Amino acid sequence: MVSYDELFIRKEQNDKLFLDVFSTLEQQKLRAEAREFAEKEYLPIADKIEKEGKFPHDLIRKSGQRGFWGTPFPREYGGRGLTTWDACIVQEEFSRIGAVLCTPMAASWFGTFPILKAGTPEQKKKYLTPLARGEKIAAITITEPNVGSDTARMETVATPGEGGYVLNGKKRFITNTGVAGVYLVFAITDRKVDPYRGMSAFIVEPEMKGFEVEELYKFMGWNGVQNGVIKFTNLRLPRENLLGREGEGFKILMNELDFERTIAAAGSVGQMRGAFEACVQRAERRVQFGRPIKDFEWVHFTLADMAAKIEAGSLLTYKAARLIDQGTQANMESAIAKIFTSDAAMEVTTDAVQIWGGDGYRNAYPLERYMRDAKIVQIGGGTNQILRMVAGREVYRRIGLKAPKPA
């Protein structure tokens, strides 16, 4: 039987196949560093975490101490001073092993990114610094029981009053629920105007009176990731916890989503690589009809299709990352990157189970886990249906066609 950590092909083999022609030497070193950390610290306990389903506090703390959480944040606030491109490299390498290291980090980045972009120097010092150092975890809270894709119609309200706001409402599906020390919350501050001008963003701390974790969710995958429902009841928020100006929430959210979708796409690329690599070993070692199964045409062509999807997904992801790093709007590119890579990851991980045959379906190996974990990326951060609308609108805008009115 192939041991769990033998499933992954070695770095040299990997690099021979997926030639890296775009990264700098520093980026190649970062990739090697992230891969080494994930293989040494995460891989040996990935199976245990999957079975026990407990949030891996130690692993998360170690990854923070090693500086990975600070990858896309400035040095002056405790980060590594690197880029979205670099963050994608780390995300891809962590995701190659599984979801439990990359997901809390990515969700924390999503809650931190708006503070970097819209925070005052005081807010950055107070919140961004411990987040970039990996000493605290953040969460981004958009989705509600009655409002998923249609974020503009959110029901959570922050009523302006003396010295600040009173927050009431419920958010669900929040990744890092219960482990986050900073919650980036979007709420309506003015019902009289449309939500594009009436939504604001806030920094909420779980110690605040009126904050409650109502429920933790269980999923088909993501065992070990914490996600659930948060309730705000007459939570008094001081004015200094408003992020950006009142009414700027929708703009802040749209800006964050380009980053979020690009990082999510990098996660899907990592999943595809992990599943692909596990198949390479298996195809060589598994013998049927007197030959290794790699010699059968379907297996050969499927490995080629997998490699094509990984290559194409990487190119789309790193293009979106490059645009974000240049400060160029990347709503179409990030949407396309997430649509393509998450759909491709679903196909690649399903084919990987098939190449492994009955063993692919066993939970003794990570193949079925990859398949279950791949699914969420088609849903989170805007479903792939909504992202087709986002990309389609931008395609029409760029070529001068009038987009259809949203439903």
Ligand X SMILES: Cc1cc2nc3c(=O)[nH]c(=O)nc-3n(C[C@H](O)[C@H](O)[C@H](O)COP(=O)(O)OP(=O)(O)OC[C@H]3O[C@@H](n4cnc5c(N)ncnc54)[C@H](O)[C@@H]3O)c2cc1C
Report the interface residues with ligand X, using CB under 6 A: 107, 140-143, 148-149, 173-175, 219, 222, 227, 376, 379-383, 385-386, 407
Question: Which of 143/334 has CB closer to ligand X?
Answer: 143
The answer to whether 79 and 70 are in contact (CB under 8 A) is yes
Nearest to 143 by CA among 181, 177, 112: 177
Q: How far is the CB of 141 from ligand X (least distance, A)?
A: 5
Cite the beta strand spans of 67-156 per DSSP E: 138-141
| Minimum CB distance to ligand X, residue 307 (Å) | 28
Planar angle of CA 263, 267, 271, nearest 5 degrees = 170
Q: Of 112 and 141, which has the nearer Cβ to ligand X?
A: 141
Measured CA distances, 115 to 139, 348, 386 (Å): 12, 35, 25
Question: How far is Cα 330 from Cα 332, in angstroms, rounded to an integer?
Answer: 6
- Which helix (H) or strand (E) covers residue 135, if one does? none
**Shortest Cβ 395–ligand X spacing (Å):** 16
What is the distance between the alpha carbons of residues 184 and 132, in angstroms, rounded to a whole number?
15
**Min separation Cβ 27 and ligand X, Å:** 27
Long-range contacts of 2-5 (CB under 8 A, 24+ apart): 2/281, 2/282, 2/285, 4/43, 4/44, 4/46, 4/47, 4/365, 4/366, 5/39, 5/43, 5/44
Is the Cβ of residue 38 or residue 139 nearer to ligand X in the bound state?
Answer: 139
Least Cβ distance, residue 342 to ligand X (angstroms)? 12
- Helix orientation angle between 99-118 and 43-52, rounded to the nearest 10 degrees: 90
CB of 227 or CB of 255, closer to ligand X = 227
Distance of closest approach, residue 24 Cβ to ligand X, in angstroms? 31
Residue 46 or 264 having the CB closest to ligand X:
264
Q: Which of residues 360 and 380 has its CB atom nearest to ligand X in the complex?
A: 380
Nearby residues of 1 by Cβ (< 8 Å), 6 or more positions away: none
Smallest separation, CB 150 to ligand X (Å): 6
How far is Cα 151 from Cα 154, in angstroms, rounded to an integer?
Answer: 5
CB of 171 to ligand X, least distance (A): 6
Instruction: Assess contact for 194 and 251: CB atoms under 8 A.
Output: no
For ligand X, give the closer residue by CB, 119 or 221. Answer: 221
Q: Which residue's CB atom is positioned nearest to ligand X? A: 148
Phi, psi of 101 (to 5 degrees): -95, -45
Nearest CB to ligand X, comparing residues 232 and 318:
232
Q: How far is the CB of 18 from ligand X (least distance, A)?
A: 28
Instruction: Find all residues with CB under 8 Å of 237, minimum gap 6, and list them.
Output: 158, 164, 165, 166, 167, 202, 204, 208
User: With respect to ligand X, which residue has the nearer C-beta, 73 or 222?
Assistant: 222
